[in-house]
Amino acid sequence: MSVTASPAQTAPRPPPQSATIEIEASCRLPLLGLFGGGLLWLFLGTLFALIASLKFHDPHFLANEPYWTYGRIHAAHRTALLYGFGVPAALGVGLWLLCRLGRAVLAGPGVVLIGAIFWNTAVAIGLTAILCGDSTGFESFQMPGYVSAILFVSYLLIALCGVLTFHRRAEGRLYPSQWFVLGSFFWFPWIFSTASMLLLCMPVRGVMQSSIAWWYAHNFSSIFLGFAGLASIFYFIPKLLARPLHSHYLAALAFWTLALFGSWGGIPGGAPLPSWIISMGVVGAVLTAVPLLAVAVNIYQTVRHDLAALDADLTFRFTYVALVFWLIAGAQQIVGVLPNVSALTDYTWFPVAHWELFHYGFFALAMFGAIYYIVPRLLNGNDPPAWSPGLVNAHFWPTFFGILISYLALLVGGVGQGIMLNDLKYSFAQVTRGTLMTLRASTLGDLCIVVGTIFFLLNFALLLSRHCRRCWTETRKERA
Amino acid sequence: MSQNDTKKPANHDNSEPGAGFATVPIWLIMVFGVLFYWSQLYLSDHAGGFDKQVYAPFDSLEQVVAMNPKSAGDEFRIMGQDIFNKTCTSCHQPSGLGKEGTAPPLVGSEWVLAPGPERIAHIVLNGLTGPITVKGKEWNLTMVPWKDNYNDKQLAAVLTYIRSTWGNNATPVKPEQVAAARKDIHPGPMTSPELLQIPVQ
Amino acid sequence: MNSGPLLFLGLFVTMACSWLSFVLGPQLQIGDMRPTTNMMVGASGQIYPNPEPGAARQGAEIYRANGCVSCHTEQVRPPLDLSLDEHGRPRDLGADIYRGWGIRGSTGYDYLFEQPVLLGSQRVGPDLANAGRRMDAVAVLVRLYEPRALTPGSIMPPHPFLFDKHKIQGLRSADALQLPAPFAPLPGYEIVPRPEARALAAYVTSLHQDGYLFEAPPPPLPPGKTNAPAKVPTKSLSVNRLLKKEPSNFPFAAIRFGLGSATVPVAAVGVPPTAFRGDYFRPEAESGGRYARAPNTPAK
C-alpha cells in the first residue's frame, strides 16, 4: 500500500509495508539463533542457581574443586541468566516488535545472526573465566574485561540492525512498545560502556567503583530488561485481546517517568557514599510509583471488559502474570528503599527476593510469553506449528509456583533476618540458623524453576523437530 | 484457530495493536505532584547539601562540624580517651574507680589532681611498684611502664584525659612536660618515695 | 510521539540525567579522593588509609576470584540518625557497631586503595570490614579449610582446594593446621595452607577501618560528666522504631505497622523451633564453645 505524493509535496514516499510473512521470514534465522542460545543459557543459569542453593544445606556439596565453589557458581548463575538469556531474549523480542510494528523486514538478518554467534561465544568465554576465577567481583557485571569488547561489538551489530529496521519503518505512527524497545536498545551501550571503561579499563578510584557498579546493575535490570519486558507486555495484551491499548498518553507518562526516575537508584541505604547519592536513589525509586500506577491503570482499563479471555490462550498467562509480578516487584522496591525499612532489610534476603521476582517472575515470564507467540510464526507464518499444550502447562505451573515459593520465603525470611541482625541478643550464627528454613523453601523454588525450564526446552525441541519433519515431508512431496 | 470462532481470540496475525487516546486520570497527576513535592523535601532534609563530606547519618555539613571535636583540646582529649579505653581500662576500669587488687582509683586522686603532671608522667613512663597511698588508702601493686609503647603526645593526651574526666578538673598536660619527664632516665619502675621527691609546679 | 529523532533526544536527555547524578557528579566530587589525616589512633597526623602491598594485595585477588564478595560485605553501616539523649550521647550507634563490626560507619576513604572495591551486597556471612581486628591468621585459615570446625552449623563453604594434604615427613610442618577431632585428617597426615590461603588470610587480617575521620567523627564527649560507657541497648533503635511505638512520620508509621504485624509469622518461620533435629541447631553452649576461637597454635 503506497501513498501517492501530491505534485506540490516533495516529502519522500514511505516505504511499502511488508507482508507479515516476509517479516517473519527475515527474522527466522537470527531470532531462532538468539532464542535458542538464550534458552540453553537459561537452563544452565537456573541449574547453577539450584546448585548454589543446595550448597547452603550441605556446604560440602561440590566444594572440593575451586570451579564449583559457591562464590563462583553464584556469579556464573547470575551471568548466565542476565547475559546468556536476558540480553539475547530482550534483543530478539525487541527486533521482532520493531519489525512487526514498523511493518518492515528486519534489516541485515545475517549481521544479526553473526552478532548472536559472537555474543554467545563471548558469554561462553566469560562464564568459563568466572568459573576459573577471573570474575570481576561486581554484582551483575562479573565477566572479565577481555570479554567486554566482544560483547559490546556483538551487541552493536544486533542493535544497529534494529535501529535501521526502525528507520525503514513503513508505519509512521509509533506504538508504545516501540518506544520501550528503542529505549532499551539505546540504554545498554551507554551503561555497558561506562561500566566497562570505568570499572575495568581505567578503574575509577575507591567507592566510585561501587557507585558505578550499583548504577549499572540497577539500570541494566530496571531499564534495559524492564523496558524489554514492558514492550512485550504492552504489545501482547492488547493484541491477544483484540482491543486497543487504553491510553497512549498514560503509556507516554509511564515511559518517560520510568526512564527518568527508574534510572536513578540501586544504591543501598547504608553505603559508604556521600548522603546525597543515596538520597537521589531513594527519591528516584519512590517516584517510580508514578509509572507503576500509570502502567497498572492502563493495562487494567484495557483488559477490564475481557478478563475471562485472559485464560483462553495458554501462553497468554505468562504475559499477564509477568505484569502482575512487575507491579509487585516495583512496589517492593519502593518500600525497600525508604531509610527505615532499608536499615532493616539491606544485605538480607529481602533484596534477593526482589531480584528473583523481577528477573524470573517478570522478565523471564514476559519473554516466555513473547517466545511462545513468536517462534511458531517464525517457523511458518502461514500455518504456525502448535506447542504441546501439556508441556506448556508443565512449564508454567512449576515455574509459577517456584517463583512464588522462592519469593515469599526470601521476602519474609529477609525481614526476619534483618530483625534478628538488629537484635543484639542473637549471635550471627543464630541469625544464620534462623534463615535455614527460608533457604530450604528457596531451594525448592529453584528446583521447580529448573523443572519448568526443562519442560520448556523439551517443548521447544519438539516444536522444532515437528516443524523440520513437516518441512522435510513437504519437500519430499514436492519433489515426488 | 479459525477466524469464525468467536469463543477463542481470533487469529490477529496481520493486525497490530493500536493505542486509544483516553486522558491521563487527574488523580495520577496529583499523586505525581505530591510525590515530587515529597522528594524535594526529602532531598533538602537528607541530601546533606550535596556536600561530599556529609555521609549518613548526618544531614548537613554543620552537623558534621558540630559532631567533630571543636578544638584541638577536644581532639586531644578524644585521643586520650581512645588510648585510655584500649590500654588502661582493663586495670583502672572505664569508670576510673579502680579495683581492689588491680589498680588504684584515678577519680579524685591527689596524684592525678596535682597542680603539675610531673609525677604521673613518671608513673606512666616508667611504671610503679611498692606501697603508695591514694586517697588515704594504701595500695601495693605493680604497674607496667608505657614509655616504649606511646610517644609524648599520646601520653600527654591520656594524662589530659584522666585529669579532665569523671569530675576531675585539673590542667591539661603538654607533650613537652612528658618529654621532660622522659629525659629523666629511670631504670625500672618508680616507687612512692622517689615520686614524692619530684617537684610539681 | 511519532518522531524517531525526538524519541532519541528524549532518551538521551533522561539517560544523561541519570548518568550525571550517579557517574559524573560523584566522580567530580569524590573521584580524586586522597588519603586524609586520621584523627587520633596512634601517632597524631597519621595518614589514613595506608595501602597494604604484598600478601594482602594478593589475598584480595584470591578473595575476588573465589567470589567471597557474594556472601560477605566489607562495610560498617552508620546509625540511622543521630538523635542525642539527655547526656548528649547518641541514642543509637547502629547494629553494626554494637555487634563489634566497627567503631564508626564506613566512608569513601576506607576503600581508596582497593582494586576492585569489594563492598558486597549480601550478608550471608558476617561483615568483614574490621575482620583484621577480630581474627588472627590462624583462625582465618581454619575457617577457610573447614568453617564448621569453628562454628557448628555454619553454611560457609569449605575451601579445601586452598590447602595441601600430605603425609607428615618427620616433624609436623610449622604452619600445619590444628583441627579438632571430627575434621582433622587421618593420623600421619597434615593440612598445610597453600600460598593462596596464606595470602587470603593476610588480606582478611589486614582489613580494618579504625580511627575516626572528619566525615565519621566519634560520638560526642560531654565535658565533666561521667564517662562510663553507655549501656549497649539490646536492640538497635532502627528496629524499635519499626516495631514499637516511637514517634516517626508518615509514611513510615504505615510501614512500621505493616512490618510489626509481620513479625508474628516471621518469628514462626524465621527463628528456628527446637523441634528440628540435626547438628545444625545444637546451641553453641552445648558444643562447649570450644571452637569459638582458633585452637592454640603450637609454640614455635
Residue pLDDT, tens place only, A24-43: 888 899 999 999 999 999 99
Q: Which three cell numbers stand for residue B6?
A: 468467536
Quick check: B64 contacting A, CB < 8 Å?
A: no
Domain match, B151 and B103 both: yes
Domain match, B49 and B92 both: no
Residues 6+ apart with CB under 8 A from B44: none
Instruction: Answer for the pair C59, C144: CB distance below 8 angstroms, yes or no.
Output: no
pLDDT > 90 fraction of chain B, expressed in percent and rounded:
28
CA distance B102 to B94: 13
Q: Would you call B31 helix, strand, or coil by DSSP?
A: helix
Q: Higher model confidence: residue C282 or residue B155? A: B155
Cβ neighbours of C78 in A, within 8 Å = 270
CA distance C282 to C262: 27
pLDDT band for A278, please (50, 70, 90 cuts): very high
Cβ neighbours of B16 in A, within 8 Å = 100-101, 103, 171, 175, 239
Task: Tell me which architecture the domain covering C31-221 has in CATH.
Answer: Orthogonal Bundle (1.10)
CA distance C167 to C187: 9
Instruction: Say how many C-beta atoms besides its own lie within 10 A of residue C293's C-beta.
Output: 13
Which chains does chain C touch, 3 or more C-beta pairs < 8 A?
A, B
Q: What is the dihedral of CA C248, C249, C252, C253, to 10 degrees?
A: 70
Could you read off the pLDDT of A157-166 as tens digits, one per residue? Answer: 999 999 999 9
**Most trustworthy range by pLDDT among A240-244, A274-278, A314-318, C274-278:** A274-278
Q: Higher model confidence: residue A207 or residue A10? A: A207
Cβ neighbours of C22 in B, within 8 Å = none
Residues 6+ apart with CB under 8 A from A113: A29, A30, A33
Cβ neighbours of A356 in C, within 8 Å = none
Domain match, B127 and B32 both: no
Q: Is B6 within a domain? A: no
CA distance A385 to A381: 9
CA distance C22 to A284: 12
A343/C31 CB distance under 8 A: no
Could you read off the pLDDT of A172-209 as tens digits, one per residue? Answer: 889 999 999 999 999 999 999 999 999 999 999 999 99
CA distance B191 to B132: 8
CA distance C119 to A211: 10
To the nearest whole angstrom, how far is the Cα of B186 from the nearest Cα of chain C? 24
E strand or H helix at A123:
helix A109-131
Write down the residue that cell numbers 591539661 correspond to.
B172
E strand or H helix at A475:
helix A436-479
Instruction: Answer for the pair A374, A93: CB distance below 8 angstroms, yes or no.
Output: yes
Instruction: Answer for the pair A84, A154: CB distance below 8 angstroms, yes or no.
Output: no
Instruction: Give mean pLDDT, residues A130-156.
Output: 94
Q: What is the pLDDT of residue C277?
A: 28
User: Which CATH number does A20-472 carry?
Assistant: 1.20.210.10
Q: What is the pLDDT of residue B194?
A: 87
Please list, residue by residue across A293-312, b when 16 or more beta carbons sit within 10 angstroms of its beta carbon and e when fewer do.
bbbbbbbebbbeeeeebbee
Q: Supply the CATH number for residue B112's domain.
A: 1.10.760.10
Name the DSSP letter for residue C279: G
Could you read off the pLDDT of B59-70 as tens digits, one per residue? Answer: 888 888 888 776
Instruction: Answer for the pair C179, C141: CB distance below 8 angstroms, yes or no.
Output: no
Q: Which three cell numbers stand for residue B75?
A: 581532639
Instruction: Answer for the pair A361, A329: CB distance below 8 angstroms, yes or no.
Output: yes
Instruction: Say how many C-beta atoms besides its own lie within 10 A of residue A58's C-beta.
Output: 11
Q: What is the pLDDT of residue A254?
A: 96
Q: Would you call B190 helix, strand, or coil by DSSP?
A: strand
C270/A413 CB distance under 8 A: yes
Domain match, B146 and B188 both: yes
Out of C40, C43, C215, the one facing B64 most closely (by C-beta) is C215
pLDDT band for C300, please (50, 70, 90 cuts): very low
Asked which of A74-78, A328-332, B192-196, C161-165 is least confident by mean pLDDT, the reply is B192-196
Quick check: C64 contacting A, CB < 8 Å?
A: yes
A241/B9 CB distance under 8 A: yes
**CA angle, B41 as apex, B37 and B43 as ends, to 5°?**
115
pLDDT band for C275, please (50, 70, 90 cuts): very low
Domain match, B53 and B79 both: no
Domain match, B166 and B76 both: yes
Q: Higher model confidence: residue A15 or residue C169? A: C169
Could you read off the pLDDT of C175-218 as tens digits, one per residue? Answer: 899 898 888 888 889 999 999 999 999 999 999 887 778 888 87
Dihedral sign computed on CA atoms, order A23, A29, A30, A35: positive
Identify any residues that bridge with C37 across adjacent strands, giving them in sequence order: C47
Q: What is the pLDDT of residue C46?
A: 66
Q: Which three cell numbers stand for residue A3?
A: 501513498
Instruction: Answer for the pair C183, C149: CB distance below 8 angstroms, yes or no.
Output: yes
C117/A268 CB distance under 8 A: no
CA distance A126 to A83: 10
Q: What is the pLDDT of residue C48?
A: 79
Could you read off the pLDDT of A340-379 as tens digits, one per residue? Answer: 899 899 999 999 999 999 999 999 999 999 999 999 999 8
To the nearest whole angstrom, how far is the Cα of C283 from the nearest Cα of chain B? 30
Q: Is B36 within a domain? A: yes
Q: What is the pLDDT of residue A180?
A: 96
Could you read off the pLDDT of C100-133 as tens digits, one per residue? Answer: 788 788 999 999 988 899 999 999 999 999 898 7
A290/B38 CB distance under 8 A: no
Instruction: Answer for the pair A241, A302: CB distance below 8 angstroms, yes or no.
Output: yes
Q: What is the pLDDT of residue C292?
A: 29
CA distance A279 to C214: 21
Instruction: Give mean pLDDT, residues B100-127.
Output: 90
Which A residues 339-358 touch B at CB under 8 Å? 339
**CA angle, B177 as apex, B175 and B182 as ends, to 5°?**
95
User: Chain B interface, mutation test: which of C29, C30, C44, most B Cβ atoms within 10 Å?
Assistant: C44
CA distance A51 to C153: 19
Cβ neighbours of B35 in A, within 8 Å = 286-287, 289-290
Q: pTM for the whole thing?
A: 0.83
Q: Higher model confidence: residue C263 or residue A260? A: A260
Helix pair angle (A389-422, A436-479), 10° resolution: 160
Query: Does the pLDDT of residue A111 top 60, yes or no?
Result: yes
Helix, strand, coil abundance in chain A, percent, nearest 5:
80, 0, 20
Q: What is the pLDDT of residue A125?
A: 97
Q: What is the pLDDT of residue A307?
A: 78
Identify any residues that bridge with B138 across adjacent strands, giving them in sequence order: B133
Domain match, B44 and B113 both: no
Domain match, B40 and B84 both: no
Q: What is the pLDDT of residue C82?
A: 75
Query: Does the pLDDT of residue C273 top 70, yes or no?
Result: no
3-class secondary structure for A130-183?
A: HHCCCCCCCCCCCCCHHHHHHHHHHHHHHHHHHHHHHHCCCCCCCCHHHHHHHH
pLDDT > 90 fraction of chain C, expressed in percent and rounded:
37
Query: Does the pLDDT of residue C241 top 60, yes or no?
Result: no
Out of C99, C114, C242, the one facing A424 most closely (by C-beta) is C99
Could you read off the pLDDT of A459-470 as tens digits, one per residue? Answer: 999 999 999 898
Mean pLDDT across chain C: 75
Domain match, B133 and B91 both: yes
Q: Would you call B55 helix, strand, or coil by DSSP?
A: strand
Write down the residue that cell numbers 631504670 correspond to.
B187
Mean pLDDT across chain B: 84
Closest residue of chain B to A19, computed from CA coordinates: B14
Could you read off the pLDDT of A427-467 as tens digits, one per residue? Answer: 899 999 999 999 999 999 999 999 999 999 999 999 999 99
Asked which of A175-179, A327-331, C31-35 is least confident by mean pLDDT, the reply is C31-35
Residue B52: domain span? 26-67
Backbone angles phi, psi at C164, to 5 degrees: -115, 140
Could you give the ipTM of this predicted complex? 0.90
A429/C112 CB distance under 8 A: no
Q: What is the pLDDT of residue A170?
A: 86
Domain match, B79 and B118 both: yes
Out of B82, B151, B165, the one facing C43 most closely (by C-beta) is B151
CA distance A113 to A46: 25
- Count of structural domains within chain B: 2
Q: Is B18 within a domain? A: no
Q: What is the pLDDT of residue C32?
A: 87
C266/A134 CB distance under 8 A: no
CA atoms lying within 13 Å on the CB side of residue C44? 15
Query: Does the pLDDT of residue C66 top 90, yes or no?
Result: yes
Mean pLDDT across chain A: 92
Instruction: Give mean pLDDT, residues A219-238.
Output: 96
CA distance C252 to C242: 8
A274/C29 CB distance under 8 A: yes
Cis peptide before A376 (omega within 30 of 0): no
Q: Higher model confidence: residue A55 or residue B171? A: A55
Domain match, B99 and B139 both: yes
Domain residue extents for chain A: 20-472
pLDDT band for C88, please (50, 70, 90 cuts): low
Instruction: Give mean pLDDT, residues A1-23.
Output: 60
B9/A309 CB distance under 8 A: yes
Q: Is B137 within a domain? A: yes
Helices (H) and strands (E) in chain A, counts: 18, 0
Quick check: C122 contacting A, CB < 8 Å?
A: yes
CA atoms lying within 13 Å on the CB side of residue C135? 26
Q: What is the pLDDT of residue A335?
A: 95
CA distance B99 to B85: 16
Q: Which three cell numbers stand for residue A375?
A: 517462534
Identify any residues that bridge with C191 across adjacent strands, giving them in sequence order: C165
Which A residues 236-265 touch B at CB under 8 Å? 238-251, 253, 257
pLDDT band for B73, please (50, 70, 90 cuts): low
Q: Would you call A35 helix, strand, or coil by DSSP?
A: helix
Cβ neighbours of C212 in B, within 8 Å = 78
CA nearest neighbour of A289 among B38, B184, C100, C143: B38
What is the gyration radius of the CA atoms in chain A, in angstroms? 23
Which chains does chain A touch, 3 or more C-beta pairs < 8 A?
B, C
Chain centroid to CA A76: how far? 17
Instruction: Answer for the pair C93, C229: CB distance below 8 angstroms, yes or no.
Output: no
Instruction: Give mean pLDDT, residues B165-170.
Output: 81
**CA angle, C98 as apex, C94 and C102 as ends, to 5°?**
90
3-class secondary structure for B121-181?
A: HHHHHHCECCEEEECCEEEECCECCCCCCCCHHHHHHHHHHHHCCCCCCCCCCCHHHHHHH
- Side chain identity at A333, as an amino acid letter? Q
Domain match, B33 and B85 both: no
C7/A182 CB distance under 8 A: yes
Task: List, in sequence order, the alpha helices (H) in A1-108.
Answer: 20-57, 70-79, 87-102
Instruction: Give mean pLDDT, residues C223-234.
Output: 48
**DSSP, residue by residue, C98-150:** HTTS-SS---GGGGTT-SS----S--SS---TTHHHH--HHHHHHHHH-GGGT
Q: What is the pLDDT of residue A443?
A: 96
Closest residue of chain C to B54, computed from CA coordinates: C215
Q: What is the pLDDT of residue A309?
A: 75
Chain centroid to CA B108: how far? 24
Could you read off the pLDDT of C122-172 as tens digits, one per residue? Answer: 999 999 998 987 888 999 999 999 999 999 889 999 999 999 999 998 888
CA distance B188 to B128: 8
pLDDT band for B93, please (50, 70, 90 cuts): confident
Quick check: C88 contacting B, CB < 8 Å?
A: no
